[in-house]
Amino acid sequence: MARSKSKTRTERPVRAERSAAASGEEAPNPVWFKPVMFGFMLLGLIWIIVFYVSQNQYPIPALGAWNILVGFGIAFIGFLMTTRWR
Q: What is the pLDDT of residue 18?
A: 53
Considering only CA atoms, which of 36, 12, 15 is closest in space to residue 85? 36
Identity of residue 84: R
Give the burial class of 47: count Cβ atoms within 10 A of its Cβ; 0-12 exposed, 13-18 middle, 19 or more buried.
buried
Report how far Cα 4 is from the mean position of its chain's Cα atoms.
57
Give per-10-residue mean pLDDT for the chain (86 aa).
Answer: 65 57 75 97 97 92 94 98 92
Enumerate the domain spans of the chain.
30-84
Q: What is the pLDDT of residue 40?
A: 98
Question: pTM (2 decimals)?
Answer: 0.68
